[in-house]
Amino acid sequence: MVVLMEKEMKYDEIFARSFSRHDQKRFGYAALVGCFIVTCCLCTVFKPYLAPLPVLNVRLTIVDGLKLVMGTQQTNKPQRPYVGVKERKLLCNTTKPRSDTCEMEGDVRIQGNSSTIFVLSSHVGNASWTIKPYARKGDESAMQRVTNFSIKAIQQEAETMPKCTKMHNVPAIVFSVGGYGGNNFHAFTDVIIPLYATSREFNREVRFLMANKHSQWTTKFQEVLDNLSRYEIIDIDHDNEVHCFSSMIVGLKKEDRKELHTNLMKEFIRFLRSSYSLERSTTIKLTNRSIKRPRLLIVSRQKTRAFMNLKDVVGAAQEMGFEVIVTEMNANMTQVSRLVNSCDVMMGVHGAGLTNMVFLPENGVVIQVVPLGKMEWLAKTCYGEPSKAMGLKYLEYKISEEESTLKDQYPHNHQVFVDPFTIQRKGWDAFRSIYMEKQNVMLDVAKFKERLSKALQLLHE
Ligand SMILES: *[C@@H]1O[C@H](CO)[C@@H](O)[C@H](O)[C@H]1NC(C)=O
Ligand SMILES: *[C@@H]1O[C@H](CO)[C@@H](O)[C@H](O)[C@H]1NC(C)=O
Ligand SMILES: *[C@@H]1O[C@H](CO)[C@@H](O)[C@H](O)[C@H]1NC(C)=O
Ligand SMILES: *[C@@H]1O[C@H](CO)[C@@H](O)[C@H](O)[C@H]1NC(C)=O
Ligand SMILES: *[C@@H]1O[C@H](CO)[C@@H](O)[C@H](O)[C@H]1NC(C)=O
Ligand SMILES: *[C@@H]1O[C@H](CO)[C@@H](O)[C@H](O)[C@H]1NC(C)=O
Ligand SMILES: *[C@@H]1O[C@H](CO)[C@@H](O)[C@H](O)[C@H]1NC(C)=O
């Protein structure tokens, strides 16, 4: 249990780090035209973790874009036994903001132990690509933990391809759960949601080739994986076969830069409910004569960003008519999904535990407590906007200096309070060590009750 918590914490740091990068990139992509202007803008906000890197990423993206190759062709050649399609296709798109993908049809062979994919293609020539099949492109710390797949287009010379040792008659999807995949927020944003978008059209008739596989990860998300593919997952990094397919997608579909949501969100949420056999699709509807009490889930954290006066908060919520459940989230998704789904309102301090709002019934209310440190943008992007896309109601509570335990650690007029941007400029580590790690929350219960009462009101609507 303790081990788990520590892990969660570590991921949490990573998670936030990726955000600061993301922040930079958001600006970067918005102004592809002028790299230097971009750098200036960013410097004023997040100078230190900026370095020259993001600019480099932007440039690389453009260069990669020029290598984009697309083509489809009718072929009259006799088909190999495992080739079930007439049309060949080789489409690699490296211009998308978060995820590089290659879609291939025809004679496709993958050798796991060399991370190489061979595709027979008469029209592309001897082209090759390197794809990291994880949807957080441009984030170096994430991507360095993702297997590089080399895709080689072989021109009309099947003999130069390795011999098939295993034939498959369903399509393959190659993706990685490395990167930040161990963090709950990233597992959903970078893997599960894009995997759903990529694989749902196959109705479980698809084979997953997983890179950077951990048994913990596949156990944690077993229900979801089982509902997307009915075949055993291949641990492609540790495999001595040459697997042959007639259709393969490398990398997951993610067309946008959205965090924890996509255009398919409502559908995805229904899919999750069915995967975890969750009973409630909507919250209780309160009337003045309701006998049933609405359930409030308080997501607690032990070590960082903890609630210091949980008892008072619980007492106040109970007085207002809530049935209150306090829990720290764990990795048992069967348990977590049921618990969250049984609740109508979920509250917690900014952190990956809030990701579990995906299991709330429709109309549920999320209350995010935002600590000091000018992290409003982070709060909105990670949980505010996604909650709305999921059909939930979103409330925010920004704590005051009085409610932060930082007030016991720094003098009143310290820059920690006066100018958090200065600390952001010192770099992510400085920022994290103060605002993310040293800060606990002592809610002003009288003030916070206003949010709870708003939540009740929303349940009446
Ligand atoms: C590649 O992706 C970009 C961004 O999503 C899209 O605009 C473009 O049409 C895609 N290219 C091809 C050839 O599909
Ligand atoms: C492609 O590579 C093969 C083997 O490496 C070589 O024989 C062939 O000439 C190359 N074709 C082109 C168009 O470069
Ligand atoms: C992937 O390729 C890059 C260069 O493209 C290299 O720096 C990196 O070490 C490789 N990563 C792995 C995990 O092999
Ligand atoms: C990789 O797999 C091939 C079969 O596809 C096998 O011949 C080769 O020995 C393997 N290499 C290593 C290093 O295990
Ligand atoms: C997912 O699995 C559950 C339980 O096995 C099943 O009832 C449900 O129909 C499945 N949903 C989809 C979309 O496959
Ligand atoms: C419900 O109660 C509130 C005050 O508690 C009152 O303002 C409102 O009119 C009541 N609504 C109905 C439908 O009775
Ligand atoms: C997860 O929780 C459920 C319900 O409490 C339990 O039946 C199951 O054994 C747990 N799974 C794991 C892997 O601990």
Average pLDDT over residues 358-367: 97
Indicate if the pLDDT at residue 23 is higher than 60. Answer: no
pLDDT reported for residue 89: 85
Average pLDDT over residues 225-243: 97
**How far is Cα 147 from Cα 145, in angstroms, rounded to an integer?**
7
Q: For residue 454, give the 3-state DSSP assignment.
A: helix
pLDDT reported for residue 121: 85
Domain hosting 430: range is 278-460
Indicate if the pLDDT at residue 39 is higher than 60. Answer: no
- % pLDDT > 90, the chain: 70
Average pLDDT over residues 197-219: 97
* C-beta 130 within 6 A of ligand 3: yes
170 and 191 both lie in a single domain: yes
Tell me whether residue 28 is in a domain: yes
**How far is Cα 304 from Cα 404, in angstroms, rounded to an integer?**
12
Domain closes at, from 257, 288, 322: 257
pLDDT reported for residue 288: 80
If phi > 0 it is left, if psi is from -120 to 50 it is alpha, else beta; for residue 391 that is left
Q: Please report, for the domain that includes residue 285, its CATH number.
A: 3.40.50
Indicate if the pLDDT at residue 358 is higher than 70. Answer: yes
Tell me whether residue 271 is in a domain: no
132 and 200 both lie in a single domain: yes
Tell me whether residue 266 is in a domain: no
At 287, the pLDDT band (50, 70, 90 cuts) reads confident
Q: Which listed ligand is nearest to 129 at the C-alpha?
A: 3
250 and 286 both lie in a single domain: no
Token pair of 378, please? 């982070």
417 and 322 both lie in a single domain: yes
353 and 447 both lie in a single domain: yes
Indicate if the pLDDT at residue 29 is higher than 50. Answer: no
Closest CA to 224 of 105, 68, 358: 358
Tell me whether residue 433 is in a domain: yes
pLDDT reported for residue 428: 80
Indicate if the pLDDT at residue 49 is higher than 60. Answer: no
Residue minimizing CA distance to atom 3 of ligand 7: 335
pLDDT reported for residue 30: 28
Degrees to nearest 5, angle at CA 452 with 451 and 458: 90
How big, in percent rounded to 5, are the helix, strand and coil portions of the chain? 40, 20, 40
Indicate if the pLDDT at residue 73 is higher than 50. Answer: no
196 CA from centroid of ligand 5 (Å):
13
Q: For residue 206, give the 3-state DSSP assignment.
A: coil
* C-beta 163 within 6 A of ligand 4: no
Please state, rounded to an integer, the average pLDDT across all residues of the chain: 82
Strands 101-111, 116-120: parallel, antiparallel or unpaired by DSSP?
antiparallel
Q: What ligand 3 atom has the least distance to the C-alpha of 130?
A: 5
At 127, the pLDDT band (50, 70, 90 cuts) reads confident
Tell me whether residue 357 is in a domain: yes
pLDDT reported for residue 13: 36
* C-beta 417 within 6 A of ligand 5: no
Q: Which listed ligand is nearest to 203 at the C-alpha?
A: 5
Those residues with Cβ within 8 angstroms of residue 362's Cβ, 6 or more apart along the chain or in another chain: 269, 281, 282, 283, 391, 392
Least confident of 194-198, 375-379, 392-396, 441-445: 375-379
356 and 223 both lie in a single domain: no
Indicate if the pLDDT at residue 16 is higher than 50. Answer: no
Average pLDDT over residues 350-369: 96
Mutation pick for ligand 7 pocket among 215, 333, 335, 339 (CB with most ligand atoms within 8 Å): 335
Give how many domains the chain has, as a whole number: 3
pLDDT reported for residue 119: 94
At 429, the pLDDT band (50, 70, 90 cuts) reads confident
pLDDT reported for residue 88: 76
Average pLDDT over residues 229-257: 97
pLDDT reported for residue 57: 26
Contact 383, 348 (CB under 8 A): no
* C-beta 114 within 6 A of ligand 3: no
DSSP 433: I
At 160, the pLDDT band (50, 70, 90 cuts) reads confident
Closest CA to 195 of 108, 264, 270: 264
Looking at the chain, the number of H-run helices and the number of E-run strands are 17, 16
300 and 366 both lie in a single domain: yes
* C-beta 128 within 6 A of ligand 3: no
Tell me whether residue 166 is in a domain: yes
Length of the chain: 461
**How far is Cα 193 from Cα 67, in angstroms, rounded to an integer?**
27
Mutation pick for ligand 3 pocket among 144, 151, 212, 237 (CB with most ligand atoms within 8 Å): 144
Handedness of CA 46, 52, 54, 59 (dihedral sign): positive
Indicate if the pLDDT at residue 68 is higher than 90. Answer: no
245 and 120 both lie in a single domain: yes
At 290, the pLDDT band (50, 70, 90 cuts) reads confident
pLDDT reported for residue 59: 24
204 and 64 both lie in a single domain: yes
Closest CA to 178 of 202, 215, 144: 144
Tell me whether residue 39 is in a domain: yes
Axis-axis angle for helices 2-30, 53-66 (nearest 10) = 70
Q: What is the 3-state secondary structure (H, E, C) of 121-171?
A: CCCCCCCEEEECCCCCCCCHHHHCCCCCEEEEEECCCHHHCCCCCEECCCC
pLDDT reported for residue 315: 97
223 and 290 both lie in a single domain: no
Average pLDDT over residues 132-147: 95
pLDDT reported for residue 125: 74
320 and 180 both lie in a single domain: no
Round the CA-based radius of gyration of the chain to a whole number and report it. 24
Token pair of 7, please? 């892990």
CB within 6 Å of ligand 1 — which residues? 70, 93, 95-96, 255
pTM of the model: 0.82
pLDDT reported for residue 303: 87
30 and 63 both lie in a single domain: no
